Amino acid sequence: MYEVLDDTAAQVILAIESGDSIRRVAQHLHTPYETVRQAVNRLEDAGYVSYDDGLTVVDERVRDAARELVAASAGVSPPTIEESYVIPQFGAWPFAFTRIDAVYVWTQGGYQVGREPDDYPLFLAVREQDIDAWETFFESFGLHTAFERQPRDELDGPLQIVLEPRASLDIEHVEGYPVIPRAETIEYMRENYAQFQSALAMLDRMYEDLDLGVTYRETERAQP
């Protein structure tokens, strides 16, 4: 099994939802299509996935083995920032990027604020009923979880997962990322207007159906 189930193949297995196309899996993993296609071919030849009107993992035990392999790999080589955005999709429970990360997703990576490579929290909205499962899941990847952002000097590494429990989730998708709705993201940005004025102006330019009435010039930052 493990000759076929390398790190890429394991991630492909974990990213597959029944009926997915190869292109959709590649989008979820933010991995080149051809890389995913080759992994799918190997997995199909080995009998681990089938491709009939969409991809299907043939046995949940294969998914469990893939999760163990990816978690073990993270134990040897801690996840990068880019990888940390993919890891939640390996969980078995719904989630959506929220707060700063919702802004990051809706601006398609165009706006980043308040984070540095050596101090990088990810903000995830999750169902209240799944909290314990998510905490155990991220622990297996060596990622610290909390309900509020923790000071960098209290952590072992640069990454932390900030969980926002909710009774239910309303999820949209942007370029493969699950995210809270755009309207909710805009409301959050307006509540923190000084921090997100330029991001609001960016959204106004990106989405033709918006009319936020926000303008922003880089020179405004220099004004006292």
- Same domain assignment for residues 56 and 148: no
In a domain, 1, yes or no: no
Say whether both 51 and 92 belong to one domain: no
- Mean of the pLDDT values across residues 166-184? 95
Q: Please check whether residue 15 lies inside any domain of the structure.
A: yes
Nearest Cα to Cα of residue 82 among 119, 137, 46, 30: 30
The pLDDT of residue 107: 94
Dump pLDDT digits (tens) for 113-162: 878 889 999 999 999 999 999 999 999 998 999 999 999 888 888 899 99
The pTM score is 0.85
CB-side exposure of 104: number of CA atoms within 13 Å?
18
* CA distance to 5, 34, 90, 158, per residue, from 98 (Å): 32, 31, 18, 19
Beta partners for residue 97, in sequence order:
124, 179
C-alpha distance from residue 148 to each of 28, 35, 83, 151 (Å)? 27, 37, 21, 10
The confidence band for 216, taking pLDDT boundaries of 50, 70 and 90, is low
Domain residue limits at 100: 81-222
d(CA 123, CA 108): 16
pLDDT digits (tens, 9 = 90+) for 12-40: 999 998 899 999 999 888 899 999 999 99
Average predicted confidence (pLDDT) for the chain:
89
